[in-house]
Structure 1
Amino acid sequence: MSVQAILMDKGCHVVTAAGTDTVKDACRLLHTNHIGAVVIVDRENRIEGIFTERDVVAAIAQRGISCMDLQLSEVMWKNVFSCSRSTSINRLMDIMNKQKARHLAVEHDGRLAGIVSIGDAVRHHIRAIEYEAEHIRSYIAG
Structure 2
Amino acid sequence: MGNKPVNAIWSVTQDNTVFEALELMAEKNIGAVLVLEDNELIGIFSERDYARKVILQGRASKDTLIRDVMTARVITVETDAKIEECMQIMSDKHIRHLPVNRDGRLVGIISINDIVSAIIHEQKEHINTLESYISGSPYS
TM-score (norm 2): 0.90
Task: Decide which of 73, 81, 92 is 1:87's aligned counterpart.
Answer: 81
Determine the C-alpha separation between the residues in 2 that align with 1:70 and 1:110.
30
Determine the C-alpha separation between the residues in 2 that align with 1:66 and 1:81.
27
Q: Secondary structure at the match of 1:49?
A: strand
Task: Decide which of 44, 65, 73 is 2:67's aligned counterpart.
Answer: 73
1:113 alignment partner in structure 2: 107
Structure 1 residue 141 corresponds to structure 2 residue 139: no
Deviations 1:39-63 (A, max 9, x none): 00111x221000000111111211x
Structure 1 residue 37 corresponds to structure 2 residue 32: yes
**Following TM superposition, by how much is the alpha carbon of 1:104 offset from its aligned partner in structure 2, in angstroms?**
0.4
Determine the C-alpha separation between the residues in 1 that align with 2:4 and 2:33.
18
Return the letter of the residue paired with 1:42.
E
Return the letter of the residue paired with 2:35.
I
Determine the C-alpha separation between the residues in 1 that align with 2:61 and 2:26.
17
Q: Secondary structure at the match of 2:4?
A: helix
Determine the C-alpha separation between the residues in 1 that align with 2:16 and 2:67.
8
Determine the C-alpha separation between the residues in 2 that align with 1:66 and 1:127.
42
Provide closer, same or farther for how the CA distance between residues 46 and 111 of structure 1 changes in structure 2, counting only shifts above 3 A.
farther
Q: Does the 8 A contact of 2:100 with 2:107 survive in 1?
A: yes
Provide closer, same or farther for how the CA distance between residues 36 and 48 of structure 1 changes in structure 2, counting only shifts above 3 A.
same
CA RMSD of aligned residues (A): 1.3
2:3 alignment partner in structure 1: 5
RCO comparison, higher one (Cα < 8 Å, 6+): 1
Determine the C-alpha separation between the residues in 2 that align with 1:113 and 1:131.
27
Matched positions, count? 135
Percent identical: 33
Task: Decide which of 59, 81, 97 is 1:103's aligned counterpart.
Answer: 97
TM-score (norm 1): 0.89
Q: Tell me, which stretches of 5 or more residues in structure 2 are unaligned?
A: none
The structure with the larger Rg is 2
Q: Secondary structure at the match of 1:68?
A: coil
**Following TM superposition, by how much is the alpha carbon of 1:67 offset from its aligned partner in structure 2, in angstroms?**
4.4
More helix by share: 1
**Following TM superposition, by how much is the alpha carbon of 1:70 offset from its aligned partner in structure 2, in angstroms?**
1.8
Q: Tell me, which stretches of 5 or more residues in structure 1 are unaligned?
A: none
